[in-house]
Every structure is written in C-alpha cells, then in structure tokens.
Amino acid sequence: MKNWTRTAAILIGLVALIVALYIGIVERQEDFYYASPADLAAGKPGSLIRSERMDTDIEEATTWRVLYRSTGLNGEPVAVSGVVVVPTGDAPVGGFPVVAWAHPTTGIAQKCAPSLGTSIAPTIAGFSGLVKRGFVIAATDYLGLGTPGPHPYLVGRSAAHSVLDSVRTAGELTETSRRFAVWGHSQGGHAVLWAGQLATEYAPELTPAGIAAAAPATRLATLFEEDRDTPGGKAFSALALLSWSKVYGLDPATVIEPAALTNARIIGEECMTNRFDLLIDGWALHGLPSTFLKTDPTKAPPWSGIIAENTPSGGKPGLPVLILQGTRDSVVLPPVTRGFARGLCLAGAPVELVEMNADHLSVAALGADIAVQWMADRLSGKPSGGNCPTPAE
C-alpha cells in the first residue's frame, strides 16, 4: 500500500510538472510568438517583428529568440520564429558570415519549436565550432512551430522561405556578410537543399556559399515506399500526411485507415524533443498496424503530386554540396542518398559524399566537425573539389 501511495504521488507530481511546463509554453507563445496582421504588413520578408535575449551559458556569443516575417505558400506574409546567435566582439570587415541551421524533425505541433526551449546549443549540430569560428547562426523553427500552424512538414518552398528569411533576420541584429552557408539534418537537410534551390529566386541579394546536409530527406517517394514498415518510417509518414492534409486542405482518411487515424493524430500532437512525448509517441506507434495506409500515397493523386512537388533537386548549378550519410541509417537509407548525390554530380554540382558509421539520429553530431570545416572553407572562398562520381547504388 505504501509503495502504491508513493508511486501515485510521483505520478501526480510528474503530471503537475508537465502541466506547469505546458502552461509556460502556451503563455510564452501568446506573449512572443503571436503576430497581428498589422505586424506582418509592416515589413518585408526577413524583417524582424520582435526579439528577446535568451539566458544561456554561452560566453562567446549572445543568443536572441526572434520572430520574423516570411512568405507563405500563397505569397501571403507569415510570422516565423527562431534563434539567432551572434558572436561577441565587433564584426569583421564585411560583416559576420552566416550559417543557417535547419533542425531535424521535432514534430508538427506548435509546441515543438526548438526556440521554446532554454538550452539551444544541444539542438544545433556543431554549435561550438560555429561560434568559435565567428559565424552568426540563424536557426529557424520553420513556419507553424512556435507560431500558429499548420506546420508545412517537408513542404520545400515553405522550408526554404523560413531558412532564407532567417539569414535576412540575422542582418537586423548585427552586421552580416552577404555570403552564407546552410546546414541541416534530416527534415533540415531537405530544407537546406530547397533553400539552395530557391536562393537566387527568393533572396537574390544573398550569396549562398554551399549546402551541408546530414541524412537529408531527398527522394520522398522512395523513402515513403522503403520506410513504411519501420517505426521511424511510420512516424514520419504519419506526420507528413497529417501536415499535408491541413496545408493542402485534404481529408487524411483518404490515405490513412480510419481505425489508425486516432493513433496517427496522437503522434501529430506530440513532439520528438523530450522523453515524455517520445513515450506517448512510442505507445501510439505500437498501436499503428504495419499497414496503416489504405492506399499508396506515392501512386494516388493528389498525394503523389504533393510528394513529387516537394522532392528537392538540390540547388543552383555549381553550388557546392556536402552530404553526410550514416551507413546504419534505417530511416534515410544509404542507397537513396547515394542515388541523389549521383544525380547532383551528373547535373554538374560539386558534391562531396561522406559516409560514416552512424545511424539516422547520430550522423549530424558525428559529422559536425567535417561540416563546420567544409562550410568555413566555402565561406572563405576555397573551391570544393567534390568526389564525383559517387558510389553506385
């Protein structure tokens, strides 16, 4: 009886803590992340709506939580949140070079924004190396994370706008160079490939120096087909289909079995950023049947068209690309990445493909030093030799 009482007290305490944290997040969203139509109309894409200092233990830099203007899928002004990290000291001649970081999947719910946390450094692969080299870090949350949703998960144009406008926003907090590099992992790898693809069109005043991507989501149709029976694949598929149903105004029941919708929606309501949410996600995933899709979205319109529309091509011709890939990755499979890299090579891009003994979650952290050095070389004007042709699939 005493053990049960003690267990109940612990559970009640945990629930109270979670509720308190949730209330804090909601209050912070209402206070900082909301932008009125007048706020949005008052400036151009990339201009700052508001900023606040974040209390961190980073002595070499000042960290700002930011809310900035961007562009929605229909050309409408939208608000996007994120973080900008500015090295201490005076900017060099020409301004600080900028590295735009695009984070991996954290979820599709509003509460899943990295900037809502208090510890930013662990969410950015290579953070210490970037700061020590004197780079400004612009880390977007993406549209719909932090700010009101829906979050356009793996929607290329939206992700590119969020990333490119974060670079513009950094220039409002300190003196920055026109030259920038982009660095992302998984969903973020998809985002930075799209940023490189649209940079000239969307942000012609900026000069991209290179794209660094760890385990990027590239050939979406292939990833859908080959990952659908794995836990990670089922989770990411559910997130993508739920997000697209909201972004494109579709009924998710046309592609997800009705009996699986409840569990799929639970996954969509939680984040992948803390143990409690992961526990709920794991429980919901366990309840999803292996065949939770009623039709193949890669072959059924309009889902197939959405998948094709949001598959990246890589970047403008000649823009250097570094791709890091784990040989033990069961989510973004190595043959898929090799095939994508080979396609970039054939299109004339200088591509460096680095494979390492890593899984999907660890590849960005394990390869961060390689990526930081590679971006430093590109930002300093050193040419990229590439290692094409890439290994055959």
Q: At what angle do helices 187-202 and 156-173 cross, to 10 degrees?
A: 70
Closest CA to 391 of 349, 348, 350, 337: 337
Phi-psi region of 60 (alpha: psi -120 to 50; beta: other; left: phi over 0): alpha
- What pLDDT is attached to residue 10? 43
CA distances from 171 to 136, 137, 165, 175, 206 (A): 9, 11, 10, 6, 11
**Residues facing 82 on adjacent strands:** 66, 140
Q: Which residue has the higher pLDDT, 291 or 226?
A: 226
Q: Is the dihedral of CA 99, 104, 110, 116 positive or negative?
A: negative
Q: Please say if the pLDDT value at position 219 is more than 50.
A: yes
When mean pLDDT is compared over 185-199, 290-304, 305-319, the highest value belongs to: 185-199
Q: Which CATH number fits domain 37-219+311-379: 2.60.120.380, 3.30.56.10, 3.40.30.10, 3.40.50.1820?
A: 3.40.50.1820
For the segment 159-184, the average pLDDT, to the nearest whole number, is 98
pLDDT band at 290 (very low <50, low <70, confident <90, very high): low
Q: What is the mean pLDDT of the chain?
A: 88
**Residues facing 107 on adjacent strands:** 271
CA distances from 156 to 33, 152, 159, 304, 365 (A): 23, 9, 5, 15, 24
Percentage of the chain surpassing pLDDT 90?
A: 70
Q: Please say if the pLDDT value at position 242 is more than 70.
A: yes
Q: Is the dihedral of CA 354, 129, 116, 196 positive or negative?
A: negative
- What pLDDT is attached to residue 55? 81
- What pLDDT is attached to residue 281? 45
- What pLDDT is attached to residue 13? 43
Asked if residues 54 and 64 have their Cβ atoms less than 8 Å apart, the reply is: yes
Lowest mean pLDDT segment, chosen from 27-31, 79-83, 129-133, 305-309 = 27-31
